């Protein structure tokens, strides 16, 4: 019988994975989240944004319930965890996802990805204001780089300010990033009773209910022509990009250092831009790569500069 090392014993006690398996899962998460942006853009061509998000949440809830039950993690949320269930459901799964879906109707997926991944910059600022987390010199430089990247995106030379659709779409996704950041700041302050993965089913279930009600009032009854292509896109987004990715990130976070996870997740927007080019035929704009380089460089400085990474704490698409 093989005698395990101390790390093996610790991994078994915490339910973690080997480093190789954890890195493999993390790569699959990056693949899922990176490709979900162009997938969502394809979906909203055929399904209104609120209904598309609601259906994705329904599919994710249906996939998560048996997974949680099989792992013995299916629970009824405790009263102390209800605030984080409500906050994550409303700010992240309803507001962020719906705003991104709406914005993708008007802007290219590549631009949307870069705007969405400004979230850690707003988290750093919000955590300083509400959680009294110090903004170190390195982190301040990182925020400066990120804001410079944002300026590149909204530069009149790269964005037509007379195009109201482009402006409103970019604005919607930037507001979505603010909502995601607000949720991450709250999550970091929350005193957990249950684990985040144990609560995710209830978060997506509540989001599906809220989105369905809002969609019913604003978009009317869904008139969806279900094709094999649309069904495959919805299943991929709901099962792979939402349910599987949440489970996988839980396992990865138990097994890899937060900074390692954060830096690896920064490959997500790059993959998203490449996949948008491959699947949607979007041009590879030099200004977009410049903006992405500045924003990702700023996030990297913040992650390496100490403290728990904002992106690892709340990453999702």
From the list 73, 54, 104, the residue with the least C-alpha distance to 238 is 54
Residue 137 token pair: 């010199």
Q: Are 68 and 199 in contact (CB under 8 A)?
A: no
Say what the pLDDT of residue 304 is.
64
102, 172 contact by CB (below 8 A): yes
| pTM recorded for the entire structure | 0.86
pLDDT confidence of residue 99: 96
Note the pLDDT of residue 316.
Answer: 52
Q: Rounded to an integer, what distance in angstroms lies between the CA atom of residue 87 and that of residue 184?
A: 9
Domain contains 12 = no
Q: Does 44 reside within a domain?
A: yes
Is there a domain that residue 18 lies in?
A: no
Question: Would residue 91 count as lying in a domain?
Answer: yes
Work out how many domains the chain is built from and give that number: 1
Q: Tell me, what's the pLDDT at 2?
A: 41
pLDDT for position 300? 84
Does some domain include residue 130? yes
Of 270, 258, 273, 275, nearest in space to 309 by CA: 258
> Which domain range does residue 121 map to?
23-314
Q: Which residues of 165-188 are buried (b: 16+ CB within 10 A; e: fewer)?
A: ebbebbbbbbbbbbbbbbbbbbbb
Closest CA to 317 of 265, 260, 281: 265
Q: Among all chains, which residue has been given the structure tokens 């709250």?
A: 186
Let me know if residue 145 belongs to a domain: yes
Mean pLDDT per 10-residue section of the chain, whose length is 317 residues: 40 61 92 95 96 97 95 94 96 95 94 91 90 87 92 87 92 95 91 91 97 95 94 97 91 80 85 93 88 89 60 50
Q: Is residue 306 part of a domain?
A: yes
Residue 175 in domain: yes
How long is the chain? 317
Q: How far is Cα 81 from Cα 191, in angstroms, rounded to an integer?
A: 8
Q: How far apart are CA 301 and CA 261, in angstroms?
A: 14
SS3 sequence of 37-66: HHHHHHHHCCCCHHHHHHHHHHHHHHHHHH
Predicted confidence at residue 264, as pLDDT, reads 85
């Amino acid at each position: 019988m093989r005698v395990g090392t101390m790390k093996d014993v610790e991994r078994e006690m915490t339910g973690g994975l080997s480093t190789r398996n954890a890195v493999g899962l993390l790569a699959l998460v990056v693949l899922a989240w990176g490709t979900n942006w162009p997938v969502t853009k394809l979906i909203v061509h055929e399904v209104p944004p609120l209904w598309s998000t609601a259906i994705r949440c329904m599919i994710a809830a249906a996939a998560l319930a048996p997974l949680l039950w099989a792992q013995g993690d299916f629970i009824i949320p405790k009263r102390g965890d209800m605030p984080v269930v409500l906050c994550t459901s409303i700010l992240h799964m309803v507001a962020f996802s719906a705003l991104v879906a709406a914005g993708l109707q008007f802007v290219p997926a590549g631009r949307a990805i870069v705007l969405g991944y400004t979230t850690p910059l707003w988290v750093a600022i919000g955590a300083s204001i509400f959680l009294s987390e110090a903004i170190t010199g390195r982190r301040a430089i990182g925020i400066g780089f990120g804001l410079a990247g944002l300026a590149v995106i909204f530069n009149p030379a790269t964005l037509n300010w007379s195009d109201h659709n482009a402006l409103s779409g970019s604005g919607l996704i930037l507001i979505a990033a603010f909502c995601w950041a607000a949720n991450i700041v709250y999550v970091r302050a929350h005193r957990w009773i249950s684990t985040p993965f144990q609560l995710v089913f209830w978060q997506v279930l509540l989001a599906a209910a809220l989105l369905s009600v809002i969609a019913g009032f604003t978009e009317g009854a869904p008139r969806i022509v279900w094709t094999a292509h649309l069904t495959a896109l919805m299943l991929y987004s709901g099962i792979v990009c939402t349910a599987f990715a949440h489970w996988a990130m839980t396992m990865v976070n138990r097994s890899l250092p937060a900074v390692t996870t954060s830096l690896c997740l920064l490959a997500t927007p790059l993959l998203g831009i490449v996949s948008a080019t491959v699947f949607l035929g979007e041009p590879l704009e030099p200004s977009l790569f410049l903006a992405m380089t500045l924003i990702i460089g700023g996030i990297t400085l913040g992650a390496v500069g100490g403290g728990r990474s904002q992106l690892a704490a709340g990453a999702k698409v």
